[in-house]
A and B are shown apart, each in its own frame.
Chain A
């Protein structure tokens, strides 16, 4: 088996290989060239730090590394059914961690879908430590019909402002929490045509939501509450968003499980689709282990 830098392959070859790795995966997420190109851009994937495992000219698995200041991020790791239980995943991980080490990245992050036990065990054996669980939430439009005569409590919104891409990035830069890689400002600043709504509630709450809209759905949903009850203001902000875009499906990724705003998501019809476990590895220890 040979590990070859991902730059030696076309995006089509990498997308095809990735799809083969996910053929029996718990959450299938088919990849196209266009999606992969966008993924590489948004998440700062460095193909020179990424690789494919190859035997007899056939790709057995792939893995990619996102690179940002002071941290790396393992993503798109997968092994084809024909390459499993042969150490392919571990070899790819060692390539990625060596690449991170060569870049002097002090830590490497990743997420694994809950229930993907082989991957989780591999990461634990490589000394990745769990940091938190992250929810991937969905909201179909018109999630619930109001019964005749039913009284529904609606958030009392005092003022709404919409922001341009630049205004939205300024908001994201003002956050004090620690978002996951997908929702870090570096990711969202790479997204085209990101928007935001800023909402003041009548009881003095203040919050905002970022989003990217398309004909069919809303993505890149990040909610921040600057003032007021986190759940109540989050609900008001999200309700306002969905009144603006009543027909779109909505996806909010990687909300920390213990985020006090999460009950606000539930109030307006989001539900947990699945969850990911976030993990981190201290690369200082990798340095000692490799004796470098």
Chain B
């Protein structure tokens, strides 16, 4: 079973993502702050990290900055999940080295496939 860590401060969004990905067979981990998310990522080494850009302590960009420096997480996709306008979000995420961006609101139907694509990148070939 693949593990996804969601770093997200909104309980509503967390419940939605948990339900959608849980129903698709993912094991979910959750942190509500950037620092908590960093700690959990380092301790648990999930298969993928979903990061809300707007967090209450440090923002998603800072979280990615730190996670990129952890050797154990080198192969773990870091994906932004954000309500920012798509073009701005994409540019910011490119600059900070995320592996991708998923724009909120998520599509319940497509979201598991979007996650699967990051976990099996060869499927794009």
A261 contact set on B, CB distance < 8 A: none
A249 and B61 form a contact (CB under 8 A): yes
A140 and B97 form a contact (CB under 8 A): yes
A216 and B58 form a contact (CB under 8 A): yes
B56 and A273 form a contact (CB under 8 A): no
A271 at the interface (CB under 8 A from B): yes
A28 and B56 form a contact (CB under 8 A): no
User: A-facing mask of B78-120, CB < 8 A → 1, else 0?
Assistant: 0000011100100010011100000000000000000000000
User: B-facing mask of A137-164, CB < 8 A → 1, else 0?
Assistant: 0101101000000000000000000000
Residues 20-79 of A contacting B (Cβ, < 8 Å): 24, 26-32, 35
Complex-state Cα separation, A273 to B61, whole angstroms? 11
Name the CB-closest residue of B to A28.
B54
B57 contact set on A, CB distance < 8 A: 32
B44 at the interface (CB under 8 A from A): no
A217 at the interface (CB under 8 A from B): yes
Query: A26-B85, A28-B83, A271-B95 given as contacts; is B65 within 8 A of A141 (CB)?
Result: yes
B65 contact set on A, CB distance < 8 A: 140-141, 216-217, 247-249
A286 contact set on B, CB distance < 8 A: none
A30 contact set on B, CB distance < 8 A: 9, 54-56
User: A-facing mask of B59-90, CB < 8 A → 1, else 0?
Assistant: 00110111001000000000000011100100
Tally of contacts, chain A with chain B, CB under 8 A: 53
B97 contact set on A, CB distance < 8 A: 140
A31 contact set on B, CB distance < 8 A: 56
B83 and A140 form a contact (CB under 8 A): no
B56 and A32 form a contact (CB under 8 A): yes
Residues 81-127 of A contacting B (Cβ, < 8 Å): none
B56 contact set on A, CB distance < 8 A: 30-32, 35
User: B-facing mask of A273-292, CB < 8 A → 1, else 0?
Assistant: 11000000000000000000
A249 contact set on B, CB distance < 8 A: 58, 61-62, 65-66
B41 at the interface (CB under 8 A from A): no
Name the CB-closest residue of B to A29.
B54
Complex-state Cα separation, A16 to B35, whole angstroms? 21
**Chain A positions near chain B (C-beta within 8 angstroms):** 24, 26-32, 35, 138, 140-141, 143, 216-217, 247-249, 271, 273-274
A-B contact pairs, 22 of them (CB 8 A): A24-B83, A26-B84, A28-B54, A28-B83, A29-B54, A30-B55, A30-B56, A32-B57, A138-B92, A140-B61, A140-B65, A140-B96, A140-B97, A141-B69, A143-B95, A216-B66, A217-B58, A217-B62, A249-B58, A249-B65, A271-B95, A274-B88
**Chain B positions near chain A (C-beta within 8 angstroms):** 9, 34-35, 38, 53-58, 61-62, 64-66, 69, 83-85, 88, 92, 95-97
